[in-house]
Amino acid sequence: MTEQEMFKLVDQIRETAFATHRFFGPGHFEKVYENALVNRLTKAGFELKQQVSISVQDEDGTLVGEYIADLIVKDELILELKACECLTQAHECQIMGYLRATKYRHGLLINFGSRKFEIKKFIL
């Protein structure tokens, strides 16, 4: 996927996530926002996977852990969703860890839990 295509994809997801936040507002569990976003993105024709297992390996290939990514869109972009008061550095470290542990270069961190919609893009 070209950078221009990625920017277009991110814009479409941002608009869909913002509309989801505007409709539901803060106060729901993360899973509610995740399912709503999956519903809206699927209806819009996006190919996505939900709750994807990510293996973390040591430099010799030994499996040392596993993460669960909330969503992967078009097998190109990891979405990590939150429903908290505000995003923290720990949340940013989490998505960067996902990117380092996978073949993916691009990630979005989206917070539905605050009154003000928060979204951050990360590139490895």
Q: pLDDT by residue (tens digit) across 45-96?
A: 999 999 999 888 888 989 999 999 999 999 999 999 999 999 999 999 999 9
CA 103 vs. chain centroid, Å, equals: 15
- The Cα–Cα gap between 91 and 110 comes to 10
Here the tokens at position 108 are 């979005």
Mean predicted lDDT score pLDDT of the chain: 95
Q: What is the DSSP string of 43-112?
A: HTT--EEEEEEEEEE-TTS-EEEEEEEEEEETTTEEEEEE-SSS--HHHHHHHHHHHHHSS--EEEEEE-
Percent of the chain at pLDDT above 90? 89
CATH of the domain at 16: 3.90.320.10
* Residues spanned by the domain of 50: 3-123
Count of domains forming the chain: 1
List phi, psi (to 5°) of 55: -85, 140
